Amino acid sequence: MPVVSRVNPNFPLPGIDQPSKGFRDNFAIIKTEIESLQGKTIQLTGEVTSNPTIIDSGNSPVVLVTNSRVYRDSFSSVELVAGILTVNHNLNRQIVIVQVSNNVNQVIVPDLVTLTSTNTVTIDLSSYGVIPGNWNVIVRG
């Protein structure tokens, strides 16, 4: 979607005395274009976009395409084996992002995260000992 603006780039030109009508016209155009952008509907669907997406002042909805899948689960100490949590996320992706949060909603840094396979990660939490309550894990791929 190309950027189409009706703003006249010749106003202002530095060091040149110019009539104020050009300034007024540009301000009116900018106001209209900003109002148009504020009314845009943005919808996220489907595949990952690797290129920048330009949102112009046209009237059609903007669709940003994504393909990020997310696995979420909670766990407690009883699910750890020697301080290790095995997460079967089934995202079918080897390279994923893993985030762990504790029972008071703080993001914690695991001792080690191993991207075991396209559907499994192991998270070493052994330095945390017996974890209190339920913790959460998010795997995004």
Considering only residues 67 and 102, tell me which one the structure prediction assigns the higher pLDDT: 102
Cα 67 to chain centroid, rounded: 11
Q: What is the pLDDT of residues 96-124, one digit of tens each?
A: 999 999 999 999 999 999 999 999 999 99
- Residue 26 to residues 13, 54, 109, Cα–Cα distance (Å): 13, 21, 51
pLDDT at 65 over 60: no
Q: Looking at residue 98, what is its pLDDT?
A: 96
Q: Looking at residue 33, what is its pLDDT?
A: 78
pTM of the model: 0.56
